[in-house]
Amino acid sequence: VRTKRSVSEQDDSSQRLLIEIKDNGEPVQSTTVTLDILIEDAFHEPISDFRHKNPEPDQKSGKITLYLIISLASVSLLCLVTFFIMLIKCARGSRGGSSCCIRRADGESKNHNRNLQIQLNTDGPIKYVE
């Protein structure tokens, strides 16, 4: 890393270096990284508050995260409301005789295949006739 001028005593010992890398492909892709540099004249133990600085939040990713959270909450709430409405309708319907839940009558399930007849053709496929 080169600097445009020499580092002097009056300069802040903590510097921020922003590195951006782009390629020449189609589509052009890029990435950035921020390095915090501590300039010292002798080796010391790392300063704890410098190492634990919170990075600046990216406003674009913050908005996207907020939109994703709102969307997830909306879909979850809609599913929950729909589930409870169906549960209430089925519970009320089972008391009154008609129900929104699919149930077969006892006679219908026992005699389901009783009236099936098979028609055989010598020149074609088997046809099922009720």
- Give 86-100 pLDDT, tens digit per residue: 999 888 876 655 555
Report yes or no: 49 and 35 within 8 Å, Cβ to Cβ. no
| Distance (Å, whole) CA 120 – CA 44 | 96
- Give 7-25 pLDDT, tens digit per residue: 787 888 788 888 899 998 8
- pLDDT-based confidence at residue 4 (cuts at 50, 70, 90): confident
Q: Is the pLDDT of residue 83 over 90?
A: yes
- pLDDT-based confidence at residue 46 (cuts at 50, 70, 90): low
- pLDDT-based confidence at residue 82 (cuts at 50, 70, 90): very high
pTM of structure:
0.34
pLDDT in the model for residue 95? 64
Relative to beta strand 14-22, strand 30-38 is: antiparallel
Give me the residue spans of the domains in the chain.
Answer: 14-94
Contacting residues for 106 by C-beta, under 8 A, at least 6 apart: none
| Distance (Å, whole) CA 104 – CA 108 | 6
- Most trustworthy range by pLDDT among 5-19, 21-35, 53-67: 21-35
